[in-house]
Structure 1
Amino acid sequence: MPDWGPVFVAVTLFVLLTPGLLIQVPGRGRVVEFGTFQTSGLSVIVHTLIYFTLVCILLLALQIHICNLFSTSMADWAPVLVGVVLFVILSPGLLFSLPGNNRTVDFGGLKTNGKAIAVHTLIFFAIYSILILALNLHIYTG
């Protein structure tokens, strides 16, 4: 039976930590800005570090699992690394935004919108689920 814990944690953190949706650290004019739908390279880096920290705590330290019949004592880094890489690549507005504000796709505009966050979340969920659940990707450390 597949373990949906990492998928749930990764997707939830992706939504909550998408720069510009709820919070942006650092903001464009202040240290912290709320609900701006703006982003920057620096804020993606900061949010990625926060994402990495939280996903490590939740998946490696607390070992959150949903329906996992086979437990292992080894740390599985695949859910963490896949999530962090996808978080950076799919942060709306950094590399691309689908849909864009004025076009179907905006590239590198550093702006986002609610529809783009929803679409990027679905893409994140699909790719993450395929890699972690369908392909059963694991990176174990002793």
Structure 2
Amino acid sequence: MSDWGPVFIAAVLFILLSPGLLFQIPGKNRIVEFGNFQTSGISILVHAIIFFALVAIFLLAIGIHIFNLYLRKMADWAPVVVGVVLFVLLSPGLLFELPGTHRAVDFGGFRTNGKAVAIHTLIFFAVFTILILALHLHIYTG
């Protein structure tokens, strides 16, 4: 049976931590800016670190995604690693923004908008679900 917990946790955190949607650390003019729909490489890095910490806490420390295989508990790091990589690659404005602010697709403009966050979240959800649930990607540590 598939565990959808990591998928939903990662997707919700992707939305909440998308730089520029709710907040951006660091902002362009202040340490924290709220709802400015801007982003930058350093903001994506900071938000990715926050994403990593929260996903690790929810999935590994709290134990939402712990499997009992061969009578030995093993933590599955795949949702954490895959989630962080996808968070960075799919952050609206870093590589691309779909839909773009000025065109159908903008590349590397470090801008975002509500529609782009929604579309990127759907892409994140689909790719994450395929990798974790459909392909059964696992990274176990003992």
Shorter-chain TM-score tier: over 0.9
If each structure's strand is expressed as a fraction of its own residues, which one has the higher value?
2
Aligned residues: 139
1:134 aligns to 2:124 (yes or no): no
Residue number in structure 1 paired with 2:64: 64
How many Å separate the matches in 1 of 2:34 and 2:68? 40
Matched to 1:49, the amino acid is I
Matched to 1:100, the amino acid is G
How well do the aligned residues superpose, as a CA RMSD in angstroms? 1.2
Q: Helix, strand or coil: the match of 2:138?
A: coil
Q: Helix, strand or coil: the match of 2:30?
A: coil
Matched to 2:47, the amino acid is H
How many Å separate the matches in 2 of 1:55 and 1:123? 18
**Structure 2-normalised TM-score?**
0.95
Matched to 1:92, the amino acid is P
Report runs of 4+ in structure 1 exceeding 4 Å deviation. none
1:111-122 alignment, distance < 5 Å: 111-122=111-122
1:68-107 alignment, distance < 5 Å: 71-72=68-69, 73-107=73-107
How many Å separate the matches in 1 of 2:116 and 2:50? 21
The sequence identity of aligned pairs, in percent, is 71
